[in-house]
Chains A and B, each alone.
Chain A
Amino acid sequence: MRRSGKEYTLWTIAIVIVLVLALIPVLWLLSISLKPASEVSDGRIIPAHFSLENYKSLFEGGFNDSPFIHPLVNSIAIALITTAIAITLASFTAYAIARLEFPGKRLILAGALAIAMFPPISIVGPLFDMWRAIGIYDSYPGLIIPYLTFSLPLAIYVLTAFFREIPWDLEQAAQVDGATPFQAFTKVIMPLAAPGIFTAAILVFIFCWNDFVFAISLTSSDASRTVPAALAFFTGESTFTAPTGAIAAAAIVVTIPIIVFVLFFQRRIVSGLTAGAVKG
């Protein structure tokens, strides 16, 4: 579809407004993170003096004493493990839902949707008690399990839409060519669903990366605390200084992987999010 020049201009203006609104806070955060402690509240968007002191403070003390490195490692590990498990399970599930007729198929889809809609805050309390009772409170599994609960439905939905788009003939062609169903899946279906798998993976990763509710409630130490939760425990240099600068610096640092991820897979995500929309 070709847009007229006027329509194009209007869209551009709208997009610029949205971008500005979304990016000003990030810019503000960046500005604060680059200011020395004494100037944090001077209200200037361009710092009078640039300082990397806040970033240094994040990493000071090495692995054991830095308030940030351990949580960063936790965040990366937990998000990656969850993404890997969620995508593996979701691709099998989604494939079955898209291709096979089996009893309970609708129930699974409805159940997945219901779980995805469930407010996380309502299960935090019970989980806290349960996890303490079975001994996985403040551990990786303690966070990975609830993350899987909420990210699996999302991944299943995205992937089901993708698998439905792949012509069934291709799989049958593979079978006639001598592939086992598993080979047909891994050699033909998976490569074709790659954009969908990337989309789902990134969505799951971002969900885990950003979560605060579970991270703050189900952890108690650096053993498993992730960055969003750890930020809340930042302290200033003395009792009387707010850790604003350090928090801003940490926020910038944790945003970077997401930006890199999205830029790197941008084309795949765009084709991924729109693929189910229009029948090609």
Chain B
Amino acid sequence: MSEIELEGVTKVFDDGYEAVKDMNLDIGDGEFMILVGPSGCGKSTALRMIAGLEDITSGELKIDGEEVNDRSPKDRDIAMVFQNYALYPHMTVRENMGFALKLAGVDKAEIERKVEAAARTLDLEPHLDRRPANLSGGQRQRVAMGRAMIREPKVFLYDEPLSNLDLELRVRLRLEIAQMQKSLQSTAVYVTHDQTEAMTLADRIVVLRKGRIEQVGGPKELYDAPANLFVAGFIGTPKMNMIDISSGARSSDGRTIEIGLHRLTFGREIPPNAAKIGFRPEHCARQSAGAEKLSIALTEARLLATENLGDRSFQYVSTEFGEMAFAGTEHDEPGQLPGMIYVPESRLHFFDASGNRLKGVDC
């Protein structure tokens, strides 16, 4: 049980590359924090600094209020699950899981008892005396989790633990991690580039870009109120639709914007400094329902592709406002393009010229 605090943590590599820039983050006791972002955003570096596998160039890292910057990994009481499992190939599953306890000088019978217990939880009992090479990917990842779990560490660190697995296993192990985390109630930091993983597992999510934190918040907060264009585009599939209205001519009541020959009509006045509006594909309706909304007449729409997901489908459409995606239902005729798109006012996101969310217009 413990808290992690990052205060102005920065990592500059020997070649001068600044991987993490002035990161400030408090991870609460028992919280499941997920670091997410595109590759090269510094999420793994941040995790490795928490683990002690990477030196901290400047700033302070505290675990339970104590500065641990210069402590070696073994003195931080953390456990880590690696992307490629990092199981010791020359040891059996039993030895792999008991290795940390053996190093710590724990009594043999005690190790055996804990290994058996962890194996039972993770469904690994029949495999205890096999070597990692003879296990499937999912089993290996379970062993890696068992190895972490058995130590009852202060903090669990996960470095993209599911990215080497196929989809079905990923979903199953995701559930297992969620259950494990719930029952252990321990603090965890989890790195992934998969936003579904982030959204489903996290208590809070940190979105990173180029070494900087773009937003920290719960999954719903990130989805409903992205702090800027980057987060808006990163969270949610398909991506949020964006229309640049900075060059448009506004009517005097502020409710219509004309961009060239095309017109956007809003249900009420829009913020004067809005430069971009965004709305998610799944919030686009083809029939008007209710009053306050954005209505867009599409005259130059051209279908690019249709993605059918069974219960719903997405149409990727080239429009006069750029490429967009719209959700459809099974009732829609395939290939039929929407003539009008309606978005409820509460589902609209406004961003200013520098890409930040305009506050005070959330409904």
Contacts and interface: CB of A to CB of B under 8 A. Distances in A.
A170 B86 contact: yes
Interface in B49-106: 51-53, 72-74, 78-80, 82, 84, 86-90, 99-100, 103-104
Contacts of A188: 88
B103 A179 contact: yes
A141 B107 CA distance: 46
A174 B104 CA distance: 12
A192 B86 contact: no
Interface residues of A, number: 18
B253 interface: no
B147 interface: yes
Contacts, number: 59
Contacts of B72: 175, 180
A45 interface: no
B168 interface: no
A167 to B, nearest CB: 7
B14 interface: yes
A173 B82 CA distance: 8
A177 interface: yes
Nearest to B48: A172
Given A101-B14, A177-B99, A179-B103, A172 B53 contact: yes
A221 interface: no
A9 interface: no
B53 A175 contact: yes
Contact of A169 (B74, B78, B84, B151): B84
Interface in A146-179: 167, 169-170, 172-179
A177 B14 contact: no
- Of A169, A183, A192, most buried by chain B (CB within 10 Å of CB) is A169
A52 B217 CA distance: 88
Contacts of A176: 51-53, 73-74, 78-80, 157
Contacts of B157: 176
- The A interface is mostly helix, strand or loop, or mixed, namely helix
A166 to B, nearest CB: 9
Contacts of B88: 170, 173-174, 188, 192
Contacts of B80: 172-173, 176
Contact of A178 (B53, B87, B90, B100): B100
A188 B86 CA distance: 11
Interface in A191-212: 191-192
A174 B14 CA distance: 24
Contacts of A183: 103
Contacts of B73: 172, 175-176
Given A172-B53, A173-B80, A183-B103, A178 B74 contact: yes
Given A177-B99, A177-B147, A178-B103, A192 B89 contact: yes
A167 B90 CA distance: 13
Contacts of A191: 90
Nearest to B76: A176
B104 A178 contact: yes
A51 to B, nearest CB: 50
Given A172-B73, A180-B74, A191-B90, A167 B84 contact: yes
B295 to A, nearest CB: 54
A173 B87 CA distance: 8
Contacts of B53: 172, 175-176
B89 A179 contact: no
Interface string A179-192: 11001000110011
* 8 interchain residue pairs of minimum CB distance: A177-B100, A173-B86, A169-B86, A178-B74, A175-B73, A178-B103, A191-B90, A176-B80
Given A175-B72, A175-B74, A176-B74, 16 more contacts: A101-B14, A169-B82, A169-B84, A169-B86, A170-B86, A172-B51, A172-B82, A173-B86, A176-B80, A176-B157, A178-B104, A179-B74, A180-B74, A191-B90, A192-B89, A192-B90
17 contacts: A170-B86, A170-B88, A172-B51, A173-B82, A173-B86, A175-B52, A175-B53, A176-B51, A176-B52, A176-B79, A176-B157, A177-B99, A177-B151, A178-B103, A180-B72, A183-B103, A187-B99
